């Protein structure tokens, strides 16, 4: 049964207005997804507001440790090509290090629906300019709902390095359950320093913080996001 897309938990910048919800297509691409992409990503220490941005089922029993931001250009996905911006928060649960995504926006209504319906990732709708490559500025801003804008201008350093990663992404579903999804990725990257700007009518800059951050420019990446399972 499809989820109530508007009920997916996220920060205020991901709220969907009624007009957008009624115009959205059905979900035609269930999990898992395997995609190809390039991206600029950056990381920073978590602020107290990052813990506040965790979903309600985690807020009282987890403490944010790190924030990862990113802007992605997808070249091949089950719903076609699209761009994406995200803010993820890493936290510990026992001995496990887990990520949750309280902010994400895309320029594809089909991706918005798939993200919310498959994984309870609170995707909003955005417009994008630029590209994620070194020496470029990649910018996203709200196309519907609360106003916000994020941009990243990376300067890459050093050689291209192979990257392989596995992660667990935990999202709170509208019924209050917490479900985890395994992510596996491989590609190539160069370390980078990115100048990041974040503006919002609400609290996004308090945890997805602006400024110069360490990170990476990632190319030729393939990753798979599986089907969610109860945690």
Structure confidence by residue, pLDDT tens digits, 161-217: 999 999 999 999 999 999 999 999 999 999 999 999 999 999 999 999 999 999 999
pLDDT of residue 134: 84
What average pLDDT does the segment 86-102 reach? 94
Query: pTM of the predicted model, to two decimals?
Result: 0.97
pLDDT above 90 (res 96):
no
Structure confidence by residue, pLDDT tens digits, 10-30: 999 999 999 999 999 999 999
The 3-class SS string of the chain reads CCCCHHHCCCCHHHCCCHHHHHHCCCCCCCCCEEEEEEEEEEEEECCHHHHHCCCHHHHCCCCEEEEEEEEEEEEECCCCCEEEEEEEEEEEECCEEEEEEEEEEECCHHHHHHHHHHHCCCEEEEEEECCCCCCCCEEEEECCCCCEEEEEEEEEEEEEEEEEEEEEEEEECCCCCEEEEEEEEEEEEEEEEEEEEEEECCCHHHCCCCEEEEEEEEEEEEEEECCCEEC
The CATH number fitting domain 5-16+34-230, selected from 2.70.98.10, 2.40.400.10, 3.10.450.50, 2.60.40.1180: 2.40.400.10
Average pLDDT score over the chain = 97
* Domain extents in the chain: 5-16+34-230
pLDDT of residue 211: 99
pLDDT above 80 (res 1):
no
């Amino acid at each position: 049964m499809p989820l109530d897309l508007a009920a997916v938990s996220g920060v205020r910048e991901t709220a969907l207005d009624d007009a957008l919800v009624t115009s959205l297509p059905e979900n035609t691409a269930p999990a898992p997804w395997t995609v190809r992409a390039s991206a600029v990503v950056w990381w920073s220490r978590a602020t107290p507001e990052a813990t506040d941005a965790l979903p309600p089922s985690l807020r009282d029993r987890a403490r944010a440790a790190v924030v990862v931001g990113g802007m992605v250009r997808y070249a091949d996905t089950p719903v076609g090509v699209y761009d994406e911006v995200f803010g993820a928060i890493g936290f510990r649960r026992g001995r496990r290090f887990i990520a949750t995504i309280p902010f994400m926006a895309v320029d594809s209504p089909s991706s918005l629906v798939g993200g919310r319906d498959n994984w309870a990732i609170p995707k909003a709708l955005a417009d994008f300019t630029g590209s994620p490559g070194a020496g470029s500025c990649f910018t996203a801003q709200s196309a519907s709902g609360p106003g916000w804008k994020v941009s990243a201008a990376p300067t890459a350093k050093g050689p291209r390095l192979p990257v392989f990663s596995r992660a667990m992404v935990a999202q709170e579903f509208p019924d209050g359950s917490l479900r985890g999804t395994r992510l596996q990725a491989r590609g190539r990257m160069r370390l980078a320093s990115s100048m990041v700007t974040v503006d919002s009518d609400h609290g996004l800059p308090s945890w997805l913080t602006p400024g110069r951050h360490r990170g990476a420019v990632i190319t030729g990446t393939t990753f798979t996001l599986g089907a969610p399972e109860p945690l």
